[in-house]
Structure 1
Amino acid sequence: GGLILCLIIFYDLFQSVVLPRPAVNKFALVRFVLRRIWVGWRWLGNRMSSISRRETWLAAFGPVGVLTMFGLWGLALVLGYSLLIDGLRDQIHPPPANFGTSLYFSATTLVPLSYGDLVPIGEGARFVIFAESATGVILAALAITLLFSLYGSFQAREESVVTLDAIAGAPPSGVQLLENAAEHGMHEELVSTFDEWRKWAAMVLESHLAYPILLFFRSSHDNEAWLNSFGAVMDAATLVMSTVDDKSEGSARLMAKVGNHLVEDLAWYFNYRRFDDPIVERSEFDQARERLGKAGYRCHGSEDAWKEFARLRSRYASPLNQLAQQLSIIPAQWIGDRTYLPHLERGRGRRRRREK
């Protein structure tokens, strides 16, 4: 039993930390546990009356999740090795009096904090103790390596999110991104934005599917969320491809292609179903088209533009909204689902009662 448990944890460590490519739809024990913990964590956060407290609580899950991962791996390895040690108690001096003593010996070996009160004297016990000591060193090295990798990927992701505020607003909007580009004569900036976010989508595709805990690391600035920023750029690209004539259409198509790849793989990882629904209402689209016309764009016919916009946006809208809801991200224009914010209604009800 101890050997089987250790092998399961070694496999889980390999899948979760060592494997250098996205492990889509491959079972990983700790990831499974963390996703179940997130359900309760999110439930508590969504019932907090203060938005600030709610965001602080939800933002803590990412770092706490990393510590929890290694804590679970460490505890499971201690238990696995203690079962092996308990089966070899006659090769240890003095022999462990009970399983609790074997558990203590295993824990002090993995950390390591051995005090020399228990000594392996048989070949089998010596091999197990040596293997556990080596495992402890490897686990610590993997933890340090993973932390550097996670925070490097997090910073690379957030750099583009922060810079997008200047042109797309906070919270970001695809319509506002196009408006600002036209009104301030920044068509080259629009092309570079699409090119930058195409590379951003490829980076997130590799890093966040290889290490899904990154999905739970929230943006650190007010009115910002990496998923909202990505959705805003996708919406801007979709509007360029369907609704307006602009020289940035080529870059928009490339960005949308990589962005849709990211959305498809995220939907695959979370087992989301894709619905052929642009989510956006026709009236919202007409308002956006009118704004873009006033900003200086030459717009396509309303009916044809809407059909193409709805077709293109249906490719990513549903999975993106499902992910926004699962991560409890505050909605932006056209992105996210407000049904996960019941505390807003309760807060309004309390204020109305106080006013009476």
Structure 2
Amino acid sequence: MLRVLMGIAGAVVVLGIFSSVLRTLVIPRPTRSSFTRIVQRAVQRPVQLLADQMESAEAKDRALAPVAPLAIVITLISWLASFMVGYALLEAAVSGLSVSDALVESGSSLFTLGFASGTRATLNAIDFCAAATGPIVIGLQVGYLPALYTAYQRRETEVTLLEARAGSPPWGPEILARYAQVELLDSLTDLFRSWERWSAGLSESHTTYPVLINFRSTKPVRNWLIALLAVMDAAALRLAFNPSQPGADVRMALRAGFVCLRDIADSRGIPYDYDPHPDDVLELTYEDFLKGVARMAEQGYPMERTPQEAWPHFRGWRVNYEALTYRLARDIDAVPAPWSGPRRTSVTISTPLTPIDRRPAG
């Protein structure tokens, strides 16, 4: 009876880990693997606790930067170790080997070392399966990394380009202020078109490869989520203050942004309101809204509505993405920025949050 239970347990482990590998590396759609998620959380939590003790955003970013890549390596090791245990239980069930000898047998086969071998036909069959499993899993992981880092590079290119347009960290009003400052408001449409496509790509890559959500930028003042929030806020401000301007591309970029956030929330099991009311209360206060409007006015951004008239329209757009953005920003400890909500702990950042640019004299 004990060997039967060992065989059942071994089969469950092997099949369960195969399912995790397929869901994580092979199936090209958002599929949640409980095993992978548990391993990644186990890697992240102790580092997160350490980061929570740090007082600056830069120090926190340095601490959290290795977490996502390390989680990938630990996941691979965990898969292989689980396969080794699963095959060992199967071998112990079909032979007279002790559990320790079965572990040696399965490890020898899984890692294709070949220093241990049995003589029973049933044992040889399990050895052959184990010998095939090791190279397959490692090969899939090797093939997975280029796709992962290609998606990361595509994401970071647009985030880096936004730095000149939105400051560091980026801020929605800063985008409109800088475009007004250099008299490029007519090209805002190109920005929103680019970020509509970027949001679609992010939705696909970050739900298929959820570990990318925790990959951090090369600089502590950059973050993909804060960049997306800045673009969506700029779009909402544009629609709120300039109703006579063409709004189709602005609306599509804004919608693509919050649909992207909802897709990521679905992949992480985060609840949200599918149909918020335009009059729902925002965490962003009207006073903070006026500070952003003042920044836009400083650089001569044209406004067809007063701030009081524009506020209900802006709020009607922001209710679609504010709560989700704040939740994700807290979860991944994104760089603190204006209009981006609270973090796990209060931190300081040495880089100015809203850099003030001046028009050239003369």
TM-score range, shorter chain: 0.7 to 0.9
Change (3 A) 1:263 1:50: closer
Correspondence for 2:249: 251
- Contact 1:330/1:336 (CA < 8 Å) preserved in 2? no
Larger mean CA deviation between 64-73 and 28-37 belongs to 28-37
Q: Equivalents in 1 of 2:111, 2:173: separation in Å?
A: 54
> How big is each residue's C-alpha offset from its partner over 1:56-109, in whole Å with a ceiling of 9 and x where there is no partner?
11011010010111111111101000111112335xxxxx4x311211221121
Q: CA RMSD in A?
A: 2.0
> Is the partner of 2:313 in helix, strand or coil?
helix
Change (3 A) 1:13 1:277: farther
> Is the partner of 2:91 in helix, strand or coil?
helix
1:291 aligns with 2:299: no
- Contact 2:14/2:86 (CA < 8 Å) preserved in 1? yes
Correspondence for 1:352: none
What 5-or-longer segments of structure 2 have no aligned partner? 1-8, 349-362
Correspondence for 1:341: 345
> How big is each residue's C-alpha offset from its partner over 1:187-219, in whole Å with a ceiling of 9 and x where there is no partner?
343211111111111111011111111111001
Q: Equivalents in 2 of 1:191, 1:248: separation in Å?
A: 9
Q: Equivalents in 1 of 2:218, 2:126: separation in Å?
A: 45
Correspondence for 2:25: 17
Correspondence for 1:314: 319
Compute the displacement of 1:49 (Å): 4.4
Correspondence for 1:348: none
Compute the displacement of 1:133 (Å): 0.9
Correspondence for 2:271: 272
Match of 2:211 among 210, 213, 218: 213
Correspondence for 2:80: 74
- Contact 2:105/2:117 (CA < 8 Å) preserved in 1? no
Change (3 A) 1:50 1:291: closer
Q: Equivalents in 1 of 2:51, 2:307: separation in Å?
A: 42
Change (3 A) 1:51 1:305: closer
Compute the displacement of 1:51 (Å): 4.1
> Is the partner of 2:24 in helix, strand or coil?
helix
Q: Equivalents in 1 of 2:347, 2:341: separation in Å?
A: 16
Compute the displacement of 1:279 (Å): 2.2
- Contact 1:238/1:256 (CA < 8 Å) preserved in 2? yes
Q: Equivalents in 2 of 1:43, 1:257: separation in Å?
A: 35
Q: Equivalents in 1 of 2:334, 2:77: separation in Å?
A: 27
- Contact 2:61/2:220 (CA < 8 Å) preserved in 1? no
Matched letter for residue 28 of structure 2: P
Correspondence for 2:358: none
- Contact 1:191/1:251 (CA < 8 Å) preserved in 2? yes
- Contact 2:24/2:33 (CA < 8 Å) preserved in 1? no
State the aligned residue count.
334
Q: Equivalents in 2 of 1:138, 1:158: separation in Å?
A: 31
Q: Equivalents in 2 of 1:59, 1:179: separation in Å?
A: 31
Matched letter for residue 287 of structure 1: K
Q: Equivalents in 2 of 1:312, 1:53: separation in Å?
A: 34
> How big is each residue's C-alpha offset from its partner over 1:289-337, in whole Å with a ceiling of 9 and x where there is no partner?
3433442312313333111111110110011001100111121110131
- Contact 2:167/2:174 (CA < 8 Å) preserved in 1? yes
- Contact 1:49/1:343 (CA < 8 Å) preserved in 2? yes
Q: Equivalents in 2 of 1:223, 1:173: separation in Å?
A: 12
Matched letter for residue 16 of structure 2: I
Q: Equivalents in 2 of 1:99, 1:207: separation in Å?
A: 41
Correspondence for 1:326: 331
- Contact 1:47/1:342 (CA < 8 Å) preserved in 2? no
Q: Equivalents in 2 of 1:154, 1:202: separation in Å?
A: 14
Matched letter for residue 58 of structure 2: S
Q: Write out aligned runs for 1:202-241 (5 A).
A: 202-241=200-239
Larger mean CA deviation between 102-111 and 29-38 belongs to 29-38
Q: Equivalents in 1 of 2:244, 2:209: separation in Å?
A: 37
Give the share of equivalent positions with the same residue, in percent: 27
Larger mean CA deviation between 282-291 and 170-179 belongs to 282-291
> Is the partner of 1:323 in helix, strand or coil?
helix
- Contact 2:192/2:235 (CA < 8 Å) preserved in 1? yes
What 5-or-longer segments of structure 1 have no aligned partner? 91-95, 345-356
Q: Equivalents in 2 of 1:188, 1:13: separation in Å?
A: 48
Q: TM-score, normalised by structure 2?
A: 0.86
Change (3 A) 1:157 1:28: same
Correspondence for 1:83: 89
Q: Equivalents in 1 of 2:203, 2:57: separation in Å?
A: 29
Correspondence for 1:349: none
Q: TM-score, normalised by structure 1?
A: 0.88
